[in-house]
Structure 1
Amino acid sequence: MKKNNRTKLAVMLSAAMLMSALPAAAFAESANKSIRTGDAGQTLFSLEGDAMADPSGVMADADVTKEQAEALARKYVSIPKEFTLQGANFSMDVLAGGKRNVWGLDFVKKANGKHVGSIYVRIHADSGQLLEFNSYMDNPSAKPAYPLKVEREAAGQIALDFIGTVAGGYKNQIQYNPDYGVQLLPPLTGEVRHLLRYDRLVHEIPYVDNFIELEVDSEGHITRYSFRWDDTVKFPKVDSKLTPEQANEKLRATASPELSYLLPYKTQGKREPLLSYGLQPIAIDAATGEVKDQSKESYFRGGTVSEKPVTDKPIGEEPKAGKVTEKQAADAVKTAFKLPAEAELNSSNYSESHNEGSGGTEAYWYLNWSIKKDGKDAGGASASVDGRTGAVRSFYIYNYNNPPQTSGQNMTLEQASTLAVDAVKKQLPWLTHELYFFKPDPKQYEDMNGGESRQYYFSFVHKVHGAAVQYDSINVSIDSSTGDVVNYDAYISDFAYPEKAPKLISKDKAVDSWLTYYRTQLTYRLVQQFSWNGQPIPIEKYKLMVASGEIEADNVKTITEAELVYRLVPRLIDESVVLDAVTGEWRNERTGEVTQLEKPKAMDIEGHWAQRQLELMVAYKALDIKDDKVRPNEKVTRGELIKMLVLARNSGQTYGLLSMADQSQMKASFNDVSADSSYFVYVESALEQNLIDVGDGSFNPEGKVSRDEMAELIVRALGYNALANYDDIFKSSFDDSAQITNKGQAAIVVGLKIMTLSNGKFLPAKEVTRAEASVAFFRYLQSRAELQEAPIRM
């Protein structure tokens, strides 16, 4: 392939991208000397077979040959000799002000014909710079270690040493990003990889879209490296800029919280909508304070939501629930939308299902029509109809032989908008006072050509008392030639909302709260502009025009510039949060539970012999804090102990604890742990994992726990309980062995040093304190890692 053709293709691909970072590695595939595109827009020449043996004809302009790139890769990454070069690709990364040639090399290790490891390396084909590597090893004999052998601080030093070796010239141009990749909660497994990032510094200001990123495992090995850097970017030096205090004031004045209903994904009991105030991160010009567009592709999906609903009052009543037949469902579709006379119903299906969100039952008819013309397939249509009310929920029609527009003129956006609004009035008359039309930006449809049948896409926002219902959606597509509705979809949940708008916290208070969540960051960002025939065009429109062949990439002028902005950046916390618009409390977005941005700290464990272990349990909320105290010497309850165990077994995560799809419909297994109990999910999970049994039907969550009981619970969690019950396998020589019910279990936990003796006695009846339980489960985590069995090699 000629060099100028390759450059032309690279330019065409590059124009469709925002130039903020280097593209990710792309692996070679299939044909010799084949041309394809990478994940982020680079042009790739994949080499295999003969091409790998002699690539010089294809890569004539590369300063670094494939053989030299392989030698450099083995030098930088210390690739063992048993890893052989399996594949190579030559790519062009498109930069803000040019391009970069890159070699991608795939090294593979095989044992007995089996793929057991791979290392992928990218080398700058002009300078020999290491751009990226990542590695994978299939090593089932590797055992996690707990606690970690290499903590994050030590991993950082390992990372810096490596950067000094492979990118020493850039070491003085980077700054450690303390917020990136931090695992806020202490790890509960030894299989941890520390993700570290060092941002590029420009004029002493971090440019966060250029960086060096590394991954260091808990053994201290670097498993991934990425050098995302663009030396062609030109950064303006801004001599006069707002102070951080001035920027904060500008951001505060600009901030406009949005009211919306959210639906927490997982709650105990029936799910309920949550009324919240949200605030999207914004950016302002660092010199002028002017608000900057957050999306550089706003023309494609941009638009405005109308200030008034479709109608002031509902124009019809909601259909009453009943039983809808297939014929009634089909007739409802024919009445609602235009179906050709030759359309023939060829399949139907009725289904009922339980809605996990609302707790109710849904029923739908799913119908399909075939459309034939002159005995041949000409298209089809499909629809879904509420099986209780007969309301059409969705409709879609397609026609292979749509006649061309003869008038030479498509309908206007305004005409199509009117048709979309009319369709919603007809289908959802009882909701028109709560539906707000989202009118798209006219610029995305300004190239509608006469004689070409295309579609206008419209949507409506459902608002209740001015709050957007995020989980509802209404979409309508209008054929630009015929004016017919060709696609309609309306998902309206059946939650009940208050008749009157609830009293809310003020918007000022909402802004104040959100600005404690965000921090203000000064940084650069790239802005790319396209112009064609002297007129600016948005990036998405450009992509569509290039893809359709309507314009040539070479005829488009591209300018990429850096601008200095102040932007809002979320603070580093271990959960996604939303602001309750009624109470002003922070809530966990997933569960809806009340939470805090600043995690409470126990003030009564400083210097305690179990301080570290107690902090671990507090971090995972296995132990509660009251009045800033964790009360380490109080007796632990059965509920707390089960929560500790289940969290430890699930690496501290609460999702996926139960296999049942719908917890809200579960019947409580114990008569004293109801579905609204804070222990419910943990107790039910422990029961499902056979860590406890139902017994007499009472769990007694507030009851105290003896050392004998805790020993059995820990051994069950380790998976040795059945073995422990065999007599004489685990013999104990404790002074009080005769008093121990679970002798085998006691012998195991003492032998593993999870629990200890006191003057030769196990003290089986002694009640366990919160501190003792925390230490026991910390040691359980250590033992679990040590006991992980490696497979026998035959």
Structure 2
Amino acid sequence: MNKRVGKIAAIVTTAAMLAGMFPAAAFASNASEGVTSSMDATSSSSVKAGSSGAAEPQSSASSSNAAISKEKAEQIARKAVNIPEDYQLQSANLSTSRLMNGTRNSWGLTFNKRVNGRHMGSIYATVNAESGQLTSYSYYNPSDVKPSYPLKVEREEAQRIASNVVDELAVSYASQVKLNESFGEQLLPALTGEVRHQFKFDRYVNDLPFLENYITVVVNSEGHVVEYEFVWDDTIQFPKPDSYLSAEDAIEKLRAAGTPELKYKLLTDRQGKNTPILTYELQSYVIDASTGNKIDDTRNHYSYLGEVADKPLTTNPLGLKPVNKAINENQAIENVKSAFKLPENIELGHSSYHEYNDTDSEQARAMWDFSWTIKKDGQDAGSIWATVNAQTGAVQGFNIYYYNEEGSEKSETISVDQATSTAIEAVKKQLPWLTHELYLIKPDPKQQEIINASRTANYQIRFAHKLHNALIEYDHINVSINSRTGNITGFEANIQPFDYPAQAPKAISIETALDRWMDYYKAELTYRVSSEYTWIGEPIPIEKYNVLLASGEIDSNEDIKVKSTVNLVYRLRAKPLDQHVFLDAVTGEWRSMETGEVTTLERPEVLDIEGHWAQRQLELMVAYKALDVVDGKVRPNETIKRGELIKMLVIARNGGSNYGYAVATADSALQSSFNDVSASSEYFAYVEQALEQNLIDLGDGSFNPEGTVTREEMAELIVRALGYNSLARYDHIFADSFNDSASINNKGQAAIVVGLNIMSTTKDGKFQPAKEVRRAEAATAFFRYLQARSELQEAPLRM
């Protein structure tokens, strides 16, 4: 490295620890365990080496296959990023990753530093074993890095540093990338831990983006590069299109191709109670950039449900829902035997009964669990287990397994249609009261080809639960059918016990839902490599392919067939958000998945804090929605309300995290602890949490959320949040240096917050306990509280 980059990249955490070090790294946040980082799907083929340098090949990806040795790779990594000598090579592995046309070997190197047996830091780097290109680098330091505001290095300066890193570490590629202006911009600023600026440089070919290849750089607020990743495939051949749609035309085509789907999702509150919420969902998709035609690539999505039948199993239910009644052990066993064909020679090995309170339905539940051993010629030949609802007698789970596959001596298999018919009849028999709401997920006809080719034992037939044309995504029914005997080998009915409206809720129109989702997404023009993975004749999604590779179940060069194509597409990509949201299908509003509160996709623009002495702190509180913005104004100099202050404290105390609450309504069943903070109040969740965490007392049952707060009251809240309120009562141990001491009721609390620099006194030494707190003062105090709390956290005792 030249002096310019060396100056930029130098990292000095402590004089004794990292002088002159340049950490840049793969996007993995923690490399301390030496986990292999790959740019694509990484195979299980590897060679591991300890710090001694001894290596034992474990598979075909041996060190002899690498043009660059482990020792040379270590030299490249140490030189590229100035790894200090006291960081010893702890492990090395050689892995193979798949490219579009071929494979690539990479060295993964883990360096550790220990002082007196204590782990002081880890560095992980990967090096291309053919070219010597540094492909990733990460640094992990177990010590907590505290935020400091204003930041020493803001985003603009961090961007300059990141650009210099790309120029130095990817010399041959820097001219082929462009900065992605929107990447990393809207991420929430850190309230605790290290503040990081993230940058992404996208690859361009024929002056068109290929967003699947990129270079990422992460710079912390000290100006140190802490992560670097180089994702690239030089083997791809890119076609040059004659023409393609404009961005405006593409958006219209994308909108026309979209079909939002009604779904019930679960919203989980702070007590773990789940509530069904009707939503509209629109999964991302792509269109051909030249024709505007939608490209069907649903099979590439691991979460792809499959094609759901147009009609339910029956028009009307085949029976009544079972009523609750006590089911004894014998009755439960007979229900299993009548439901499924069981072998004659079985022995009951386990029977258990358990009760529990269902937090969702707030009802008591009871279950029977059984297991049997299958006997043949006096030997164990297999096992059976079953679960039966002890209140209704319904069999909810069943599985039978033979140690030697049943029916394996038969050469013929039943057809997928026969298996489907058997599964449908089983579902009708076991769930007769739901058949008008259950839909077959059409099985892939290729299942039969796969079973014939691989001798896989079972067909998997699945069913979806829909109500009022809305998919209940958390319910599912699976039936396994032995492909040779036609017998049911598995049955699972997971139906959550929720109450739903008898009539379909009046939802917003599909057109309105599309408008909302087009605000959520942005259209991206990019080359796209589309790969079809086939395993034993079965198409599988890339996620499953990666799992199979990682587990070692398949070998990337033998068992998997890959067909790849490159085309130019427009795709829908979610805009950067600082929260998880869902679209309420009834109101058309975006809501937070964490709290259920109405939210917006864009952070509100604040017009009245530019140049304010507390601008940074106010921006942080606005970002975390601890302060509301009305008409673009946060009103920093207005007095803060008690409800607002509690909300700010709770969010600050949780490090920015919110505990989820069900969407509250005026007639909500949620019970309020205070008579003036109803379940529908915007402060309800935060007030209840503050009470639970002993930050406030119940008192006379009134909270007064619209009232003002004095400095002395805020000091008490902060001290209680720190856990020092009991100590503060011994106010005689604190130096009394306030010039208005006589007017302070709780001198200990005032002394603590001033001593920790969370709150300050006037120039003439007055605490002003009765002065009302303004919004800017509260924002500043709670950010200083975060810094103080971090400094006060002690390391665990070591024996």
Structure 2 length-normalised TM: 0.86
1:126 counterpart (116, 119, 130): 130
Distance change in 2, residues 1:753/1:539 (3 Å): closer
Q: How far apart, in 1, do the equivalents of 2:272 and 2:102 lie?
A: 57
Report the counterpart of residue 217 of structure 1 in structure 2: 220
Contact 2:263-2:280 within 8 A present in 1 as well? yes
Distance change in 2, residues 1:618/1:557 (3 Å): closer
Report the counterpart of residue 380 of structure 1 in structure 2: 383
Give the partner amino acid of 2:696.
I
| 1:750-775 Cα distance to aligned partner (Å, 9 max, x none) | 34262332654322222223333223
Contact 2:93-2:107 within 8 A present in 1 as well? yes
Report the counterpart of residue 657 of structure 2 in structure 1: 653
Contact 2:319-2:433 within 8 A present in 1 as well? yes
Please list, as runs of the form range in 1=range in 2, the aligned pairs for 1:55-70 lying within 5 A after superposition: 59-60=63-64, 62-70=66-74
Distance change in 2, residues 1:383/1:260 (3 Å): same
Q: How far apart, in 2, do the equivalents of 1:54 and 1:328 lie?
A: 59
Report the Cα offset of residue 37 of structure 1: 15
Report the Cα offset of residue 49 of structure 1: 8.0
Contact 1:657-1:682 within 8 A present in 2 as well? no
Is it true that 1:710 corresponds to 2:711 in the alignment? Answer: no
Distance change in 2, residues 1:87/1:549 (3 Å): closer
Is it true that 1:150 corresponds to 2:153 in the alignment? Answer: yes
Contact 1:146-1:190 within 8 A present in 2 as well? no
Tell me, what secondary structure is at the counterpart of 1:419?
A: helix
Report the counterpart of residue 334 of structure 1 in structure 2: 337
Report the counterpart of residue 440 of structure 2 in structure 1: 437
2:774 counterpart (764, 769, 781): 769
1:110 counterpart (85, 90, 114): 114
Q: How far apart, in 2, do the equivalents of 1:323 and 1:53 lie?
A: 64
Distance change in 2, residues 1:382/1:716 (3 Å): same
Contact 1:23-1:39 within 8 A present in 2 as well? no
Report the counterpart of residue 736 of structure 2 in structure 1: 732
Please list, as runs of the form range in 1=range in 2, the aligned pairs for 1:746-765 lying within 5 A after superposition: 746-751=750-755, 752=757, 754-757=759-762, 759-765=764-770
1:421 counterpart (420, 424, 449): 424
Please list, as runs of the form range in 1=range in 2, the aligned pairs for 1:375-524 lying within 5 A after superposition: 375-405=378-408, 408-449=411-452, 452=455, 454-524=457-527
Contact 2:318-2:435 within 8 A present in 1 as well? yes
Report the counterpart of residue 187 of structure 1 in structure 2: 190
Report the Cα offset of residue 776 of structure 1: 2.4
Report the Cα offset of residue 199 of structure 1: 1.5
Tell me, what secondary structure is at the counterpart of 1:304?
A: coil
Give the partner amino acid of 2:176.
Q
Tell me, what secondary structure is at the counterpart of 1:567?
A: strand
Report the Cα offset of residue 651 of structure 1: 1.1
Contact 1:146-1:785 within 8 A present in 2 as well? no
Q: How far apart, in 2, do the equivalents of 1:38 and 1:562 lie?
A: 16
Q: Which moved more, 1:722-731 or 1:424-433?
A: 722-731
Q: How far apart, in 1, do the equivalents of 2:202 and 2:626 lie?
A: 36
| 1:191-216 Cα distance to aligned partner (Å, 9 max, x none) | 23333322111222221111112233
Distance change in 2, residues 1:595/1:719 (3 Å): same
Q: How far apart, in 1, do the equivalents of 2:496 and 2:442 lie?
A: 23
Distance change in 2, residues 1:253/1:377 (3 Å): same
Report the Cα offset of residue 615 of structure 1: 3.4
Give the partner amino acid of 1:262.
K
Tell me, what secondary structure is at the counterpart of 1:246?
A: helix
Q: How far apart, in 2, do the equivalents of 1:626 and 1:337 lie?
A: 62
Q: How far apart, in 2, do the equivalents of 1:82 and 1:407 lie?
A: 65
Is it true that 1:45 corresponds to 2:51 in the alignment? Answer: no
Q: How far apart, in 2, do the equivalents of 1:793 and 1:484 lie?
A: 59
Q: How far apart, in 1, do the equivalents of 2:676 and 2:584 lie?
A: 31
Distance change in 2, residues 1:359/1:182 (3 Å): farther
Q: Which moved more, 1:590-599 or 1:490-499?
A: 590-599
Contact 2:594-2:661 within 8 A present in 1 as well? no
Report the counterpart of residue 12 of structure 2 in structure 1: none
Tell me, what secondary structure is at the counterpart of 1:64?
A: coil
Q: How far apart, in 2, do the equivalents of 1:549 and 1:792 lie?
A: 43
Report the Cα offset of residue 593 of structure 1: 2.4
Is it true that 1:642 corresponds to 2:646 in the alignment? Answer: yes
Distance change in 2, residues 1:530/1:340 (3 Å): closer
Q: Which moved more, 1:605-614 or 1:706-715?
A: 605-614
Note the residue ranges of structure 2 that are not aligned, 5 or more in a row.
1-25, 663-667
Report the counterpart of residue 172 of structure 2 in structure 1: 169
Tell me, what secondary structure is at the counterpart of 1:564?
A: strand
Q: Which moved more, 1:96-105 or 1:445-454?
A: 445-454
Report the Cα offset of residue 241 of structure 1: 0.9
| 1:385-418 Cα distance to aligned partner (Å, 9 max, x none) | 1121111111111122444355531110111110
Distance change in 2, residues 1:490/1:81 (3 Å): same
Report the Cα offset of residue 679 of structure 1: 3.0
RMSD of aligned residue pairs (Cα, Å): 3.8
Distance change in 2, residues 1:778/1:656 (3 Å): same
Report the Cα offset of residue 595 of structure 1: 1.8
Report the counterpart of residue 178 of structure 1 in structure 2: 181
Distance change in 2, residues 1:475/1:52 (3 Å): same
Q: How far apart, in 2, do the equivalents of 1:554 and 1:475 lie?
A: 31
Q: Which moved more, 1:153-162 or 1:621-630?
A: 621-630
Q: Which moved more, 1:377-386 or 1:769-778?
A: 769-778
| 1:54-83 Cα distance to aligned partner (Å, 9 max, x none) | 99x964564433333222211111111111
Distance change in 2, residues 1:671/1:739 (3 Å): same
Q: How far apart, in 2, do the equivalents of 1:131 and 1:205 lie?
A: 23
Contact 2:150-2:616 within 8 A present in 1 as well? no
Report how many aligned residue pairs link the two structures: 759
Tell me, what secondary structure is at the counterpart of 1:497?
A: coil
| 1:20-49 Cα distance to aligned partner (Å, 9 max, x none) | xx999999999xxxxx99972263222358
Q: How far apart, in 2, do the equivalents of 1:645 and 1:26 lie?
A: 34
Is it true that 1:527 corresponds to 2:530 in the alignment? Answer: yes
Report the Cα offset of residue 232 of structure 1: 0.9
Contact 2:31-2:123 within 8 A present in 1 as well? no
Contact 2:299-2:541 within 8 A present in 1 as well? no
Tell me, what secondary structure is at the counterpart of 2:54?
A: helix
Report the Cα offset of residue 295 of structure 1: 3.9
Report the Cα offset of residue 169 of structure 1: 2.2
Q: Which moved more, 1:85-94 or 1:445-454?
A: 445-454
Please list, as runs of the form range in 1=range in 2, the aligned pairs for 1:333-352 lying within 5 A after superposition: 333-352=336-355
Q: How far apart, in 2, do the equivalents of 1:229 and 1:120 lie?
A: 19
Contact 2:285-2:571 within 8 A present in 1 as well? yes
Q: How far apart, in 2, do the equivalents of 1:427 and 1:673 lie?
A: 46
Report the Cα offset of residue 174 of structure 1: 1.3
Note the residue ranges of structure 1 that are not aligned, 5 or more in a row.
1-21, 31-35, 659-663
Q: How far apart, in 2, do the equivalents of 1:690 and 1:233 lie?
A: 60
Contact 1:302-1:441 within 8 A present in 2 as well? no
Please list, as runs of the form range in 1=range in 2, the aligned pairs for 1:221-240 lying within 5 A after superposition: 221-240=224-243
Report the counterpart of residue 15 of structure 2 in structure 1: none
Contact 2:43-2:552 within 8 A present in 1 as well? no
Report the counterpart of residue 538 of structure 1 in structure 2: 539
Structure 1 length-normalised TM: 0.86
1:362 counterpart (365, 369, 375): 365
Tell me, what secondary structure is at the counterpart of 1:172?
A: helix
